Amino acid sequence: MSQYPTDVKYTKEHEWARVEGDLVRVGITAYAVEQLGDVTLVDLPSVGATVTAHERFGDIESVKTVSELFSPISGEVVEVNEDLDANPELVNDAPYDKGWLIVIKPSNLAELDELLDAAGYEAFLGSLDH
């Protein structure tokens, strides 16, 4: 049984993307959360901002480090998880649920085909441990 949800696609930068109708919800993976430690601040773009696949869209800070966030797909930000302003620890508690980051209206949904499925992401993580 995978510890990574199979209904999302993954990037090698440890973001996930879940298609919800004509929108894509984005967050960071459990592996990223584990590497970061306790998240203390999430800096996200504003609604209406344009993001580009594989390019930085924000930052996430933890007790250990500051990491850049990279978009899995190009498009327009249509929703931002404002709950993270007051409760950034939601990313730690539920990275695939309440800890999501942004919702994107994609300009090219086919970009998701370039991302990894759960098995591919786990294989990629396995290659990092060696």
Domain ranges in the chain are 9-107
CATH topology of domain 9-107: OB fold (Dihydrolipoamide Acetyltransferase, E2P) (2.40.50)
Measured between alpha carbons, how far is residue 18 from residues 6, 46, 49, 105 in Å? 10, 20, 19, 12
Contact 124, 29 (CB under 8 A): no
Indicate if the pLDDT at residue 1 is higher than 70.
no
* pLDDT, tens digit, 9 for 90 and up, residues 62-90: 999 999 999 999 999 999 999 999 999 99
